[in-house]
Structure 1
């Protein structure tokens, strides 16, 4: 090799080493912890939205869980925060019910399955002795159905979730439906409170307070939304657009500033 090419050769080798090192070095170095995004582009048929994440995250009193309501803590690690689209925007149908069990991580269960109900001592003796309730006020007055007062579970299926539907003629309702139908005759005030009245007769267990290893274990009795809610899952789990509008516009309306009225779309949506 002629000496006049030696400097060029050395320069090429040095540049090659630097180039290869630039690719390899990041792979060998410890990965930095994920950080919150600065701005997020939200594609939309009505015009994309550029959401300034840092500005909103820095507002007084704002925590991650304000918007990411699935978070178990107010300020979770960025890597553990799910994007809105991971839950919203899905079609709530049979396929969703089947797939979501494996689609989401275990800690996500408590976002929707937030409570479970357990038995509570409602006071059989107190009703019979102190309140003067006759046995047949709760048990069947028709002796053709029940000659003597029996344990309700002898005839009514125990362990099934309430259906909130009247039983078919000739078929005993399950135990939950039977008890609810009997109790409401005296306790209309509690039933009028709907889900808020459940704690009067049930132990209410907040799933968010359960140990981490138990959070993914949802009781099949309360896996269906309508056990506690009158609206089905398709009404409770908002679509992506409705979720964003409710969250963003609701917050702006509460603050009394920023876009929240129907005619202010262009303040968030860019032109097509």
Structure 2
């Protein structure tokens, strides 16, 4: 009777050891996040990288259009903030690895407080929401995949 519990005990011990090793082994940082959740007033949008790269055949540079002086692509909010406020003005330069990126918006590499003529005209730089709408919706419309019209916002935006 006692001998029949030995195989069960061994199997449970092996499963527990396997689970413990899997839990304790770090997974490592992924180069590309599998999904990105874009929080916004219209409702969250879940963007899946695999669907766009593997299923539809897009390259990273099709969406991440600006990697100047970068070893990797920068966050969209580095150039396209939610608002061009004082926090953005004070912090955005920390997102770039190279001063070469400054020249995308500035006439010269800023060294101190910017003179008025060296400040970019933010009316021509889209905010994050405007940039996403232009990038995502234009591509979807060009591909014939919608969304079209005001009633289809919830095709992408979660309620």
TM range (shorter): 0.5 to 0.7
Count of residues paired in the alignment: 153
Corresponding residue for residue 97 of structure 1:
89
Runs of at least 4 residues off by over 6 Å: none
Pairwise CA distance, 1:106: 1.8
CA contact (8 A) 2:45 2:156 kept: yes
* Closer, same or farther: CA 23–263 of 1 in aligned 2, 3 Å: closer
Q: Report SS of the residue matched to 1:238.
A: coil
CA contact (8 A) 1:250 1:260 kept: no
Corresponding residue for residue 156 of structure 2:
268
Matches within 5 A, 1:69-88: 69-72=65-68, 80-88=72-80
Corresponding residue for residue 40 of structure 1:
36
CA RMSD of aligned residues (A): 4.1
Structure of higher CA gyration radius: 1
Alignment partners' CA distance in 2, 1:106 and 1:225: 25
Q: TM-score, normalised by structure 2?
A: 0.63
Q: TM-score, normalised by structure 1?
A: 0.42
Matches within 5 A, 1:140-179: none
Alignment partners' CA distance in 2, 1:115 and 1:89: 14
Pairwise CA distance, 1:55: 2.4
1:238-262 alpha-carbon deviations (Å, 9 max, x no partner): 3221121111122234445422544
List alignment gaps of at least 5 residues for structure 1: 118-160, 162-217
Alignment partners' CA distance in 2, 1:32 and 1:259: 36
Matches within 5 A, 1:1-272: 14=13, 18=18, 20-24=20-24, 26-27=25-26, 32=28, 34-58=30-54, 59-60=56-57, 62-72=58-68, 80-101=72-93, 103-107=94-98, 109-114=99-104, 218=109, 220=111, 226-227=117-118, 232=121, 234-270=122-158, 272=159
Q: Report SS of the residue matched to 2:81.
A: coil
Q: Report SS of the residue matched to 2:32.
A: coil
CA contact (8 A) 1:46 1:269 kept: yes
1:84-123 alpha-carbon deviations (Å, 9 max, x no partner): 245433432344322223x31323x544523887xxxxxx
1:2-50 alpha-carbon deviations (Å, 9 max, x no partner): x99xx6xx85x946655544444x14xxx65624334333233323223
